[in-house]
């Protein structure tokens, strides 16, 4: 019985040694090769003195080596932190400093992109891909190891580490309301609870071919990687070159005979808009989607195109991965106006409390804040006990011991059938193409410009992207900054998906009676302006 994520690989390597475990960029690693290379990496980490619980950063574009790095870290008892190779270097550098990453698996060109102080905590880098002769001169010759040099380390054994299912396995950094990303801590138990449920619910087997659409720093990727490895299936990593061309992506599904697809709805919308056909998708048996609301007109179009494929709506924040799900009823769908987020997954409970702290009941019509409990719940946020205490709270229905549950921040209603429906959020977090974004982080980036006096970011609902972002900015008198200047500045501070598509410059931003920026009014004005453009 597996109680650590790396045990899935060990078992599948024993059962399917020569079968491809992972495919990316026309390269594969068999289960034996993935097991051996991750063993070598674990032995390197152990030899260099890394201790159980130390953090290792994984910072390069998705490739077959990505999984070797993940499992190598786990086998050494380390906590891996996937870092976005598309993000600005100062954002990534902040994460490295925030959680004290001691080892970094990266590419030479990406390592060169950091200011020296960002890498103070990093004692070892392992370089993937081609490296120049100067690569070994960083810090000291012993502090850099080339990927090919891993062959010198044992491939058939791993260091002994006393570990339990409660130990941290990885951390995923998400957008933070303070303007800095926050590290969500996930244990082996958190992930395995989700993986076991998926394996049973979707009957994942060694005959499946899973697509990994989401980036590895996004929680959707946990399903693809670990369910594929657990079952002895093959996981196909969809890399940036494929994402840029939705037309080639539908051909990819057909060529690789993908059986299980999991992505944000906006990716499926792009496939529909770029000629996805039943013939191209004939290998698929399940389509899973999560991360944002799926516009009903597109979901109905997908269901009509692929009537024999099971469609599932999965819901859950990074802090719980998936905690509820809903299987789409093809017969009922044409008459539905919205899709539920459904019922709780196995070994998970969800409930919603109204403003009086009373649990809402099926069909009562009241809205409530959604909470999740069970082994899926994160232990909290790295180095932020205040944020942890705010979101990971005592169960009000369990006075006998200190059981921690997660407050999702989402507002829901419960229908007569016991299905939850997402209504909205109480805070300023939104989702764009599946990415969870704190509007405060965008505003913090804008306010970092000396010429900016006030800044507010708002979300405009959009059927394709979930939301589009607009920035309102008031400049100091005499400033000549343009919208293009604001976008250029944001590109240096925040990921591309967080940059507002449009900016509106004003002399002053509206205020509430308490003197705060009136974001409600700005959001309403942005929606009205967008609607006027569509009408015209």
Tens of pLDDT, residues 112-127: 999 888 999 999 999 9
With a pLDDT cut of 90, the percent of the chain lying above it is 78
Number of H helices, E strands in the chain: 16, 27
Q: With 90 as the cut, is the pLDDT of residue 22 above it? A: yes
With a pLDDT cut of 70, the percent of the chain lying above it is 98
At 475 the pLDDT is: 93
pLDDT tier at 535, thresholds 50, 70, 90: low
pLDDT (tens digit per residue) in 239-292:
988 887 888 899 999 999 999 999 988 889 889 988 899 999 999 999 999 988
Query: How much is the pTM?
Result: 0.89
pLDDT (tens digit per residue) in 196-246:
999 999 999 999 999 999 999 999 999 999 999 999 999 999 998 888 788
DSSP helix/strand/coil, 48: coil
If we measure between CA atoms, which residue out of 337, 322, 308 comes closest to residue 262?
322
Four-CA torsion 510, 514, 520, 526, nearest 10 degrees: 10
Q: Are 180 and 94 in contact (CB under 8 A)?
A: yes
User: For residues 284 and 208, what is the distance between their CA atoms, to the nearest angstrom?
Assistant: 10
Give the burial string for 481-497 (b: 16+ CB within 10 Å, else e): beeeebeebbeebbbeb
pLDDT (tens digit per residue) in 504-531:
999 999 986 556 788 889 999 999 988 8
At 57 the pLDDT is: 98
Q: With 70 as the cut, is the pLDDT of residue 172 above it? A: yes
Encoded tokens for 424: 């909205």
Measured at the CA of 158, the angle between CA 166 and CA 42, to 5 degrees, comes to: 80
Neighbours of 331 (CB within 10 A): 8
């Amino acid at each position: 019985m597996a109680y650590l994520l790396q045990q899935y690989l060990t078992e599948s390597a024993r059962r399917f040694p020569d079968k491809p475990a992972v495919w990316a960029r026309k390269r594969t690693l068999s289960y034996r090769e993935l097991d051996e290379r991750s063993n070598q990496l674990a032995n390197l980490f152990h030899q260099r003195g890394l201790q159980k619980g130390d953090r290792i950063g994984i910072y390069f574009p998705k490739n077959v080596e990505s999984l070797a790095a993940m499992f190598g870290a786990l086998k050494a008892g380390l906590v891996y932190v996937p870092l976005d190779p598309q993000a600005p270097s100062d954002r990534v550098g902040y994460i490295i400093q925030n959680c004290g990453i001691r080892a970094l698996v990266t590419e030479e060109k990406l390592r060169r992109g950091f200011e020296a102080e960002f890498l103070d905590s990093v004692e070892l880098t392992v370089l993937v891909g081609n490296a120049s002769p100067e690569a070994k001169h960083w810090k000291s010759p012993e502090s850099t190891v080339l990927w090919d040099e891993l062959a010198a380390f044992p491939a058939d054994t791993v260091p002994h580490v006393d570990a339990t299912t409660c130990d941290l396995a990885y951390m995923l950094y998400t957008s933070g309301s303070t303007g800095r990303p926050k590290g969500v801590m996930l244990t082996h138990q958190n992930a395995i609870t989700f993986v076991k449920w998926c394996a049973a619910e979707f009957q994942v087997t060694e005959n499946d071919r899973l697509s990994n659409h989401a980036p590895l720093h996004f929680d959707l990727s946990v399903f693809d990687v670990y369910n594929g490895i657990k079952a002895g299936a093959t996981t196909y990593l969809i890399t940036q070159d494929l994402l840029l061309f939705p037309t080639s992506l539908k051909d990819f599904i057909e060529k690789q005979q993908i059986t299980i697809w999991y992505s944000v709805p906006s990716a499926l919308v792009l496939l529909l808009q770029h000629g996805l056909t039943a013939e191209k998708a004939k290998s698929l048996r399940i389509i899973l989607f999560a991360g944002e609301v799926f516009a009903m007109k597109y979901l109905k179009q997908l269901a009509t195109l692929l009537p024999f494929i099971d469609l599932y709506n999965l819901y859950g924040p990074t802090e719980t991965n998936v905690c509820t799900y809903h299987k789409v009823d093809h017969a009922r769908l044409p008459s539905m106006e919205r899709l539920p987020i459904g019922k709780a997954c196995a070994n998970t409970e969800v409930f919603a409390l109204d403003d009086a702290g009373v649990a809402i009941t099926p069909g009562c019509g009241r809205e409530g804040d959604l909470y999740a409990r069970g082994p899926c719940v994160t232990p909290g946020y790295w180095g932020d006990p205040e944020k942890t205490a705010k979101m990971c709270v005592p169960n009000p229905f369990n006075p006998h011991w200190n059981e921690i549950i997660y407050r999702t921040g989402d507002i829901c209603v419960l229908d007569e059938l016991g299905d939850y429906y997402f209504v909205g959020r109480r805070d300023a977090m939104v989702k764009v193409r599946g990415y969870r974004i704190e509007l405060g982080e965008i505003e913090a980036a804008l306010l970092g410009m000396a010429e900016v006096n006030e800044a507010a970011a708002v979300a405009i609902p959009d059927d394709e992207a979930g939301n589009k972002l607009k920035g309102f900015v008031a400049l100091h008198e005499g400033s000549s900054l343009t919208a293009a200047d604001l976008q250029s500045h944001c590109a240096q501070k925040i990921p591309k998906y967080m940059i507002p598509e449009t900016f509106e410059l004003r002399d002053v931003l509206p205020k509430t009676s308490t003197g705060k920026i009136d974001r409600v009014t700005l959001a309403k004005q942005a929606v009205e302006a967008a609607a006027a453009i569509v009408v015209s």
